[in-house]
Amino acid sequence: MNSVVKKLFVCLMLLAVVTIIGGMFTASAETETKATNDTVASESVESSSAQATEKSGKAFGSGIAIGLAALGGAIGMGLAAAKASEGIARQPEAESKIQKLFMLGLVFIETAIIYALIIAILIIFVL
């Protein structure tokens, strides 16, 4: 179990690094846009660059939302499958009950991932 926690910690740290790097690129793009807008002073350039920054922010946020949901769901499903297999191995006579609970748990995990997908779609198209 300790190795699973270590792997999860490493994945979260990598996600944090990617988020920070993405934020730096967005900030540098905004700085370049402001410098360009100061020299050109055109409203069309401002609006198009603002829209591009907004779209990239939406895409980045949606990607993080889906990525975290998929990561959490995959870890949860893997642990559930491992524990269900272990339970069936220890008590073969309780196989049908364990399978029912296992499938119910997988449905709830998958539902959470689908909710994250719906939220990501709403972020991209509605907000």
- Structure confidence at residue 42 (pLDDT): 53
How far is the first Cα of the chain from the last one, in angstroms, to the nearest whole number? 40
Q: Are 26 and 52 in contact (CB under 8 A)?
A: no
CATH of domain 2-125: 1.20.20.10
Q: Are 106 and 46 in contact (CB under 8 A)?
A: no
pLDDT band at 98 (very low <50, low <70, confident <90, very high): very high
Q: What gap in Å lies between CA 78 and CA 86, rounded to an integer?
A: 12
- Tell me the domain boundaries of the chain: 2-125
Do the beta carbons of residue 106 and residue 77 sit within 8 Å?
Answer: yes
Which of the residue ranges 31-35, 44-48, 64-68, 73-77 would you say has the lowest mean pLDDT?
31-35
Task: Give me the mean pLDDT over the 7-11 stretch.
Answer: 66
pLDDT in tens, 50-94: 777 778 888 888 888 888 888 889 999 999 999 999 999 999 999
Q: Mean of the per-residue pLDDT values for the chain?
A: 77
